[in-house]
Chain A
Amino acid sequence: TQLLEQSPQFLSIQEGENLTVYCNSSSVFSSLQWYRQEPGEGPVLLVTVVTGGEVKKLKRLTFQFGDARKDSSLHITAAQPGDTGLYLCAGEYGNNRLAFGKGNQVVVIP
């Protein structure tokens, strides 16, 4: 069983602040995906990281895949209220199978 631990589970910050959330596992994944889910909606894919040590940027969001492909982090610079949501990481293993974490609930206060 592939387990992904996301921390912190809940984070509340003021608009303009920076934040980092983490996704950790003891398993190695062929790739790792980050999704954002807003209330009443389904998750939406933000990024996929594939190579160990890879860093991808999506505007103010920076995603990093660990060198050993077991963990990942998401850093948000100058957070905006629109960044509020549940951030889910998902590790790919086997034949196109994904294991999800419980998510990081982020609230950005205006």
Chain B
Amino acid sequence: ETGVTQTPRHLVMGMTNKKSLKCEQHLGHNAMYWYKQSAKKPLELMFVYNFKEQTENNSVPSRFSPECPNSSHLFLHLHTLQPEDSALYLCASSQVRQESGELFFGEGSRLTVL
């Protein structure tokens, strides 16, 4: 059973819709991440939050808007998306420290933009 839960698991939306993806981690970690996984591409880091503060925005279009109200919750707000934004969106958490930072992933939210 995963310590990182994502909802919804599947989402279909039109290009003019507004929706949100939710992530919750139960591991007591201090960092949370959004990744995009598209077919035949490496995992793309989108956003990083350390202690609720956004520390990285990897040149992500403004139609993706993250929100981190506390260290356990992370949202990705979606509006006016494009069909090429269809992908699996993965949330992850980690405990940032001096040594290697292993990631704990959720099961992902499969997004289809029509």
Q: Give me the interface of A with B, judged by CB distance under 8 Å.
A: 4, 30-31, 33, 35, 40-45, 48, 50, 88, 90, 92, 96-103
Query: Which of B4, B101, B102 touches A42 (beta carbons < 8 Å)?
Result: B4
- B100 & A99 in contact (Cβ 8 Å cutoff): no
Contacts A/B (CB < 8 Å), 24 sampled: A4-B42, A30-B100, A33-B102, A35-B103, A35-B105, A40-B107, A41-B107, A42-B92, A42-B107, A43-B105, A45-B102, A45-B103, A48-B102, A50-B99, A88-B43, A92-B100, A96-B94, A96-B97, A96-B101, A99-B42, A100-B42, A101-B42, A102-B40, A102-B41
Top 4 closest A-B pairs, CB basis?
A42-B105, A96-B101, A31-B100, A100-B43
Q: What is the number of contacts between chain A and chain B, taking CB atoms within 8 Å?
A: 57
| Interface size class of chain B, counting residues whose CB lies under 8 Å from the partner chain | 20 to 34
Question: Within 8 Å CB of A97, what residues of B?
Answer: 45
Query: Which of A33, A41, A103 touches B100 (beta carbons < 8 Å)?
Result: A33
- The answer, yes or no, to whether B90 is at the interface (CB within 8 Å) is yes
Question: Within 8 Å CB of A44, what residues of B?
Answer: 105
Question: Within 8 Å CB of B43, what residues of A?
Answer: 43, 88, 90, 100
- The answer, yes or no, to whether B108 is at the interface (CB within 8 Å) is yes
A42-B108 contact in complex given A33-B100, A48-B100, A50-B100, C-beta closer than 8 Å: yes
- The answer, yes or no, to whether B2 is at the interface (CB within 8 Å) is yes
